[in-house]
Structure 1
Amino acid sequence: MSRIAFVFPGQGAQYVGMGKDIVEKFEIANKIFEEASEAIGYDMKKMCFEGPEEDLKKTENTQPAILTTCIAIAKVLEEKGIKADLSAGLSLGEYASLVISKGIDFKDAVALVKKRGKYMQEAVPLGVGTMAAILGMQREDLEKALEKASEFGVVEAANFNSPGQIVISGEVAGVEKACEFAKGIGAKKAVILPVSAPFHCSMLVPAGEKLALELENVIINDLEIPVIANANADYYKDKSEVIDLLVKQVSHSVLWEDSVIRMLEDGIDTFIEIGPGKSLSQFIKKISKQQEKSVAIYNVESSESVENLMVNLSN
């Protein structure tokens, strides 16, 4: 028997039209979109299906839109009898994992991530912070570049995505200097990313503090499916850890590569990336190759890919 992990993408995967085909074909997906609209007070179908892109790209809209699309698709898979043995998500995607594990009710989660997006955007004035992708460099070497660059401004590792792909975050001067130093000591590429805030670094601590107050008002239930947290690449032990780890996630590194290695070590041989884009599938492919593990990786974001998955899993 395959051991299946549901994995969910983070911000940046969004596009106008995501989820439309799924909603048209499956009533359970339509219901999720309607629940989202009710929870956040605007038409989620219109936001996801029609945009405009500028509105969809606003962090406080992006986060509930991606979460809604992911859960709508996950519910379709569950209705078809495909269940996860465990789950993990990248940044925002961790909320989708907690929803399918029954740890947080979907309506609470979608309202929560709208506020999370708002707080993350407001924590640092526009133009003060940025992020960059560093390609082709080991963690230990990058640490040297970050240490040197920190004299010019805050700069920290934000995402450990896959072997040779690390994202850094911080003040503009610090990030620019880190890119310069990283290239000087062997990075293949260092690319400033088109983002509106320096996510997953200490500059986002105020956003985490505001999020903590919101989380205190949310009912947290026992998790029915094991979920791996971004902040420590380990399983939530029980529901008492949920608030602390979600708050920590806002201003700490996302340990995605470590999380995938943990899943591989625990016998996961089938990864189903649920939601817009294919970035997690690409990361998992690189990580599993480095770990010399043979795995099946699927991406599901349309009714056609649902049908393809059903065929592949039945073979």
Structure 2
Amino acid sequence: MSTLWAFPGQGAQQPGMLQVLPDAPVVQACIEQASAALGEDVRLLDSAEALQSTRAVQLCLLVAGVAASRLLSERGHRPDYVAGLSIGAYAAAVVAGALDFADAVRLVALRGELMQRAYPSGYGMTAILGLDQASVERLLGEVDGPVYLGNINAETQLVIAGSDAAMAAVAERARALGAGGTKRLAISVPSHCALLDGSARALAEAFSGVELRTPRVRYLSSSSARLIRDPQTLRDDLAYNMSRVVDWQATLVTAYERGVRLHLELPPGGVLSGLARRIFDAGQAIAFEGARLDTLDAMLRQEVSRDR
């Protein structure tokens, strides 16, 4: 049996998310390394006010995921697979050994700036609960204005992206159709749709000067739900994932079919663990946040002993 380390995307951020990481030297060294690459103190980016910025959110998610992973690695643990939802893919690529952390910090800062600059206000993402994909796509076709399918998180948990007005119209129709709920997410840009094609192309240009290596840990793309080994394919996956639909459900199914039975969600939050429990019915899904390190040690070692 294998383990998957999963890294959350935008919407999982929490004020103080870097401050609550374990006070370990390897964690502090990671924060210092990110600050040096960025030329500013990343500890100042996780306040409630700072997290109004897409750039700050994405940087904090990257740092939190990599710092927690390095702490686990120092304690003798290593994933069999990594995957990240949207911005989480950058932490996954770093942990897989395919992308240098300093390069990831600079690329993520640019990514956030490009997305924020393209849509400073009036756009975002909304979750639709209780309707299947076909129903949601039909509603998208009935509404005037820019709105697209963005995330497939579960069979009946989908996320749309677009203008506030168009999303509100879809949400109203979804509730009338019997949706269990709709929720405007804490995301201020329309991610994972054609509205970000131009920003993705600009980021791809920046990627051209960055070295990527063959992952040392198996990397699952949350866009294609496939394993990526080739550095050029990985470069494309990372640069363009902001404008491609996230199929997290299919990514989890792929992991499960490949023998993964322990899903570990790196910080912050626990939303991905809830989604994984729907798929990992014969396995376990846990979150780093809120768990004792000795408990995580025991669970991860148990999986290693089973593999042997």
| Equivalent in the alignment of 2:183 | 191
C-alpha contact (below 8 Å) 1:200/1:253 kept by paired residues = yes
Q: Following TM superposition, by how much is the alpha carbon of 1:23 offset from its aligned partner in structure 2, in angstroms? A: 4.8
Match of 2:283 in 1: 295
Q: Is 1:306 aligned to residue 293 of structure 2?
A: yes
Residues 312 and 121 (structure 1), Cα distance of their counterparts in 2 relative to 1, 3 Å cut: same
Q: How far did 1:194 drift? A: 4.1
Bigger shift: 74-83 or 11-20? Answer: 11-20
Correspondence for 1:99 among 76, 94, 103: 94
Q: Match of 1:132, SS?
A: strand
> Deviations for 1:93-114, whole angstroms, at most 9, x for unmatched residues?
1111100111100010011101
Q: CA deviation at 1:59?
A: 0.9
Aligned partner of residue 269 in structure 1, secondary structure: strand
**TM-score under structure 2 normalisation?**
0.93
Report the counterpart of residue 32 of structure 2 in structure 1: 34
* SS of 2:97 mapped into structure 1: coil
Once the two structures are superposed, the pairs formed by residues 10-21 of structure 1 within 5 Å of their partners are 10-21=9-20
Alignment of 1:28-107 (within 5 A): 28-48=26-46, 51=47, 53-107=48-102
Give 1:263 shift.
0.4
Q: What SS does the corresponding residue of 1:287 show, helix, strand or coil?
A: coil
Query: 2:30, 2:63 within 8 Å by CA — same for their partners in 1?
Result: yes
1:239 is matched with which residue? Answer: 231
**Partner residue of 2:139 out of 140, 145, 160:** 145
- What is the alpha-carbon distance in structure 2 between the residues aligned to residue 241 and residue 74 of structure 1? 24
Letter of the aligned partner of 2:127 in structure 1? A
Task: Find the aligned partners of 2:271 and 2:18 in 1 and give their Cα distance.
Answer: 17
Q: Using the alignment, how far apart are the partners of 1:146 and 1:124 within structure 2?
A: 20
RMSD: 1.7
Q: TM-score, normalised by structure 1?
A: 0.91
Moved more, 103-112 or 180-189: 180-189
* Partners of 1:308 and 1:218 in 2: CA distance: 38
Residue of structure 1 equivalent to 2:210: 218
Report the more deviating stretch, 222-231 or 261-270: 222-231
- Stretches of structure 2 lacking an aligned partner (at least 5 in a row): 303-308
Equivalence for 1:123: 118
CA contact (8 A) 2:120 2:188 kept: no
The residue type equivalent to 2:284 in the other structure is A
Q: Are the aligned partners of 1:63 and 1:92 in contact in 2 as well (CA < 8 Å)?
A: yes
Q: Tell me by how many angstroms 1:37 deviates.
A: 0.4
Question: Is the partner of 1:217 in helix, strand or coil?
Answer: coil
Task: Tell me which residue corresponds to 1:158.
Answer: 150
Contact kept, 8 Å, 1:19 with 1:301, in 2: the verdict is no
Moved more, 169-178 or 229-238: 169-178
Out of 197, 201, 205, the residue aligned to residue 209 of structure 1 is 201
Q: Share of identical aligned residues, percent? A: 31
User: Following the alignment from structure 1 to structure 2, what is the Cα–Cα distance between the partners of residues 32 and 194?
Assistant: 26
Cα distance in 1 for partners of 2:285, 2:270 equals 10
1:43 Cα offset (Å): 1.0
Q: What are the superposed Cα offsets for residues 128-163 of structure 1, whole Å, 9 maximum, x if unpaired?
A: x232110001111111111112xx112111111123
Alpha-carbon distance, 1:213 to partner: 1.2
Specify the alignment match of 1:113 in structure 2. 108
Distance in 2, Cα, partners of 1:234 & 1:209: 22
Asked if the contact 1:101/1:224 (under 8 Å) is kept, the reply is yes
- CA drift of 1:257 comes to 0.7
Amino acid at match of 1:31: A
Q: Which runs of 5+ in 1 are unaligned?
A: none
Aligned length: 302
